[in-house]
Amino acid sequence: MTSRFTSTPTRRTVVKAAAATAVVAAPLVAGATAAAADPAAAPAFLHGVASGDPLPDGILLWTRVTPAPDAVPGSGKGQDTEVSWEIAEDKAFARIVAQGRTTATAASDHTVKADVRGLRPATAYWYRFAAGTALSPVGRTLTAPATDAAAANVRFGVVSCSNWESGYFSAYRHLAARSDLDAVLHLGDYIYEYASGAYPEAKYVVRQHEPAHEILNLADYRTRHGKYKTDADLQAMHHAHPVIAIWDDHEFANDAWSGGAENHTPGTEGDWAARVSAAKQAYFEWMPVRPSIAGTTYRRIRYGKLADLHLLDLRSFRSQQASVGSGKVDDPERTITGRAQLDWLKSGLSASNAAWQLVGTSVMISPVAFGALPAELTAPLAELLGLPKEGIAINVDQWDGYTDDRRELLGHLVDNGIKNTVFLTGDIHMAWANDVPVKAGTYPLSKSAGTEFVVTSVTSDNLDEMLHVAPHTVSLVAAAAIKAANRHVKWVDMDSHGYGVLDVDAQRSQMDYYVVSDKRKQDATSSWTRSYRTLNGSQKAERVYSPVV
């Protein structure tokens, strides 16, 4: 990166820590020698450290302490354990700026959070925890620029869909190795809820998760989160960068909606509300995320005057998915956002004075349909037959299944002259670069309301893998058909796994797409494959022939 945020305060800032109940009198190095001499001593930090939700003056710190060998995640075992933390301006912790203590208890699965405030904007910090003689790994984090700062640029790693049993998390390792990121944006499906061998099939499992059965209750969700955070590549990503995360369905169950899920059977798997409550509790215990409005993940994070990041929760309030081919997708009584969240998003977009509006949406907003005729020409027939007016949706779990919410949102963008809206998306295990048309059937003669960059999965199976055929056997034909029927789709890659890097400055927002060589290998390499950008004011995606350096 050619330029970074800078901050030159004239004196040291006095810091406060909202989560601290007392002040640590000395640096945490006292326990390091003892811990090194007896690495088996309890307590221990076996799940790494993490930071998240950066603010101009603060950051959320996270860890999990194991107070005794049998106090594993989800066990409910282990005594209350005092945990100290400190944050410094340097990796050697010679310039400590905040420190405190809290208590890890079985009630929170021995996870710990410290919401540190009073820090300097756009500044790198290092942090660590201690419990008894044990010292945690050191993490590095970065605060956001000041609210009204004219930030030169911001750069995010962008990931989604990391299924433990499908492969190794090499994408996280490659993001951890980068020193130019302000944060990593995780767009959902951080964990998967399935039983071992359910997805993928047992014969294709690369490594087995825990517990082996489908996760249903609080102990199960805690155990699964704990297993994920033993992964060395995942830990490395968290140690290197703050993470800004939202959830999608697999943090709960496949195709979740407000009253149930495709992968939930009330008669044998209990009450859906109880399952959701357990999943959300475990999520907020194990993730460096601040609970937001109504205990969800929809919230807003600002990066100076350059960008507002609007993060959505598209599972807690949505109506049940309609059947494929059903005209119910157009029903104005059905919603993917819920009324309150959609109003919050619209008002935030209207009120923002940032150059770019980045919307983190866990499922794709661009319409994707098949059909021999443009949707506008088939509208009368669609109305008679009760079919979707925008064409036959092929994925009703996306915004395609909730067309009235999409119509209202895109109409709001156009009617209010809101430009430079970029939707950032995961979920479908493919990489896409799209314009977001107001009327797909007449595009490109009609308007584009923004652009959408979709990142592929970290490991979760793509189309050819799900069909168990060689790469490109089906995907190239499917991609060609999608592009032919959807003229706003500039590019789609159905075969790769990897991550994106989004770079934003005053002139453009550019997504660089990277792929890993083989998700089934721990030492998989990474390479750049494509880049697309949208220029300030253009509302359209265009190909770029080199990544940002």
In the three-class reduction of DSSP (H, G, I as helix; E, B as strand; rest coil), residue 419 is classed as coil
End-to-end CA gap in the chain:
5
Two structure tokens written together for 481: 């058909």
> Percent helix, strand, coil in the chain (nearest 5)?
25, 25, 50
Beta bridge partners of 542: 533
**What count of other Cβ atoms lies within 10 Å of the Cβ of residue 169?**
27
Sign of CA dihedral 8, 14, 17, 20: positive
Question: 280-303 pLDDT, tens per residue?
Answer: 999 999 999 998 877 899 999 999
| pLDDT given for residue 16 in this prediction | 32
430 close to 462: Cβ distance less than 8 angstroms: yes
pLDDT at 395 (0 to 100): 86
Residue ranges of the chain with per-residue pLDDT less than 70: 1-41, 370-393
Question: Distance between CA atoms of 222 and 66, rounded to whole angstroms?
Answer: 13
Q: What is the pLDDT of residue 279?
A: 98
pLDDT score, position 253: 98
In this structure, are residues 364 and 428 in contact, taking their beta carbons and an 8 Å threshold?
yes
8 Å CB contact between 35 and 82: no
Beta-sheet strands, E only, within 228-335: 243-245, 256-257, 260-261, 299-303, 307-311
> Which sequence spans correspond to the domains of the chain?
16-142, 153-544
Q: State the Cα–Cα distance between residues 496 and 480, nearest whole angstrom.
A: 16
Is the link from the previous residue into 121 a cis peptide, with omega within 30 of 0? Answer: no
Strand partners, 201: 198
State how far the Cα of 328 lies from the Cα of 335, in Å rounded to an integer: 11
> For domain 16-142, which architecture applies?
Sandwich (2.60)
**Burial readout 381-410 (b: 16 or more C-beta within 10 A, e: otherwise):** ebeeeebbbbbbbebbbbbbbbbebbbebb
CB 263 within 8 A of CB 193: yes
CA dist., res. 491 & res. 497, Å (int): 15
Q: Could you tell me the fold of the domain covering 153-544?
A: Purple Acid Phosphatase; chain A, domain 2 (3.60.21)
